[in-house]
């Protein structure tokens, strides 16, 4: 279990492309150095499409590589800015702008910003303006600030597609940074993940663009969050004699306890000496209803629910379009998504490898390999989200 009171940095981002372009001109890159420092870069290439994508990718990659190689962040910024060309035919505008956030293990942070909208710092859901110092490097103006991230503090990085949202469409002059701050303050919820906050803000920008973004638009949210454990049990043990051991270990870990599968629920109820309260109410016609066992936080069906959860996880890692459904629905997949994608930082799988007799009918085409494959896919997705995942087989 994650230590009570321990915390970590969580980063979530979302981008939408300039309308009609296949590639995004914004690029994000994150590294974790050997000493535990987290370095995050959001770069915005000039224009849109292929050229912008190449320029922003090059900028973010070079910055991260230099810092990963041990070059101090000040020197890395200086080295990049010296070599970063400008478009003389566009009024000496830089070929790529960037924002950098570097967070040390003690949660002190440095921020550098070059021609992107100034980053926003939120403390308890309210803006607390960063105090930027102006640095002139090779004639270019870089804004630098230092801060400290307390629990649930957030730093929000923006590409300029956010402040241009709505120009010539729903708004005459775009969406100002001040209006974005007010919008973020209205959204504040400590349980809202970085990815979902970025999703909501980018979704609003897309609405202002009336679904046809006039610029690549990216939002990245960096926040300090509490670590929280969630335990997920899937299937009974191969040897029924090991069920009690499996259940003892499962309930011995703190955090939420979730059971997937009817047979698993039966074993669970027997161990707890509780009854299973089944439901026939379908919140979603394609998702089997949940059940209830006293002492268990969530009981869902197995294979069908896990399969849809993997689909939802892949969507979350992409454009996160399904968030606007699962964020308020109460079906098994939605409740699992809230617990695993949003609430948990640490996830412990307890996977029983027993063959389910109900799956042996050839009409179902479901075997033990299907369950194992879903657990493996889900594990990879959760790790890609930055979760700390442990899997134990029984």
Nearest in space to 154 (alpha carbons), one of 217, 201, 220, 73:
220
Contact 205, 218 (CB under 8 A): no
For 56, list phi and psi in degrees, rounded to 5.
Answer: -70, -35
Beta bridge partner(s), residue 270: none
**Strands, sheet with 217-226, edge to edge from the N-terminal-most edge strand:** 7-16, 217-226, 154-158, 120-123, 126-127
Distance CA 157, CA 221 (A): 6
Predicted pLDDT at 367 = 61
Report pLDDT for 4. Answer: 39
Say which residues have a Cβ less than 8 Å from residue 287's Cβ, sequence separation at least 6.
Answer: 301, 304, 305, 308, 331, 332, 333
DSSP state of 172: S
User: What's the rounded Cα separation, in Å, for the pair 202 and 197?
Assistant: 9
Burial of 274: CB neighbours in 10 Å, binned 0-12, 13-18, 19+: middle
Tell me if the pTM is above 0.85: yes
Radius of gyration of the chain (CA): 24
Cα diameter, the chain:
76
CA 213 to chain centre: 23
372 Cβ contact list (under 8 Å, min separation 6): 351, 353
Find where tokens 């490898």 sit: 353
3-state secondary structure of 346: strand
Closest to 123 in 3D by CA, of 155, 164, 91: 155
| Alpha-carbon gap, residue 192 to 201, rounded angstroms | 12
Nearest to 260 by CA among 192, 356, 177: 356
Query: Which of helix, strand or coil describes residue 197?
Result: helix
Among the listed residues 309, 315, 318, 311, the one whose alpha carbon sits nearest the alpha carbon of residue 337 = 309
Q: Is the separation of the CB atoms in 266 and 347 below 8 Å?
A: no
pLDDT along the chain (394 residues), means of 10: 70 97 96 93 91 90 88 84 65 76 96 96 97 88 96 97 80 79 96 97 95 95 97 94 94 96 94 92 89 96 96 98 96 97 97 72 62 96 97 95
- The encoded tokens of residue 65 equal 């590589």
How is residue 187 written in tokens? 């959204």
HSE of 359, CA atoms in CB hemisphere, 13 A:
17
Query: Tell me, what DSSP letter sits at residue 242?
Result: G
Give the closest residue to 6 by CA, choosing from 101, 102, 105, 104.
105
Please state whether beta strands 292-293 and 276-277 pair in parallel, antiparallel, or not at all (unpaired).
antiparallel
Q: Which domains does the chain have, with CATH numbers?
A: 7-226 (3.60.40.10), 229-393 (no CATH)
Give the residue among 306, 303, 376, 387 at the shortest CA–CA distance from 341.
Answer: 387
């Amino acid at each position: 279990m994650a230590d009570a009171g321990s915390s970590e940095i969580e980063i979530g981002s979302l981008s939408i492309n300039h309308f009609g372009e296949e590639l995004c001109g914004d690029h994000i890159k994150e590294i974790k150095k050997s000493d535990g420092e987290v370095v995050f870069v959001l770069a915005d290439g000039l224009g849109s499409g292929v050229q912008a994508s190449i320029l922003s990718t090059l900028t973010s990659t070079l910055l991260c590589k230099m810092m990963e190689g041990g070059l101090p962040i000040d020197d890395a910024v200086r080295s990049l800015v010296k070599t970063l060309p400008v478009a003389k035919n566009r009024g000496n505008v830089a070929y790529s702008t960037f924002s950098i956030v570097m967070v040390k293990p003690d949660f002190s942070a440095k921020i550098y910003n070059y021609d992107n909208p100034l980053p926003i710092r939120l403390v308890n859901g309210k803006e607390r303006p960063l105090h930027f110092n102006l640095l002139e490097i090779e004639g270019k103006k870089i804004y630098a600030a230092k801060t400290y991230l307390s629990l649930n503090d957030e730093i929000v990085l923006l590409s300029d597609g956010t402040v241009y949202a709505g120009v010539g469409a729903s708004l005459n002059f775009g969406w100002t940074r001040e209006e974005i701050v007010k919008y973020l303050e209205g959204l504040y919820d400590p349980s809202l993940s970085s990815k979902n906050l970025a999703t909501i803000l980018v979704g609003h920008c897309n609405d202002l663009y009336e679904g046809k973004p006039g610029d690549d638009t990216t939002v990245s949210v960096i926040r300090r969050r509490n670590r929280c454990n969630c335990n997920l049990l899937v299937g009974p043990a191969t040897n029924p004699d090991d069920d009690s051991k499996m259940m003892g270990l499962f309930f011995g870990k703190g955090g939420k306890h979730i059971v997937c599968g009817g047979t698993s629920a039966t074993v669970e109820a027997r161990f707890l000496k509780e009854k299973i309260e089944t439901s026939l109410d379908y919140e979603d016609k394609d998702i089997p209803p949940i059940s209830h066992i006293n002492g268990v936080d969530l009981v869902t069906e197995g294979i069908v629910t896990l399969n849809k959860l993997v689909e939802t996880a892949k969507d979350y890692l992409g454009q996160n379009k399904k968030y606007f459904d699962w964020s308020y629905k109460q079906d098994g997949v939605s409740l699992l998504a809230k617990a695993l994608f949003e609430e948990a930082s640490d996830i412990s799988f307890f996977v029983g490898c027993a063959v389910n007799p109900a799956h042996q009918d050839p009409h179902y085409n479901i075997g033990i390999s299907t369950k194992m494959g879903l657990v493996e896919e889900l594990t990879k997705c959760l790790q890609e989200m930055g979760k700390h995942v442990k899997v134990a087989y029984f």
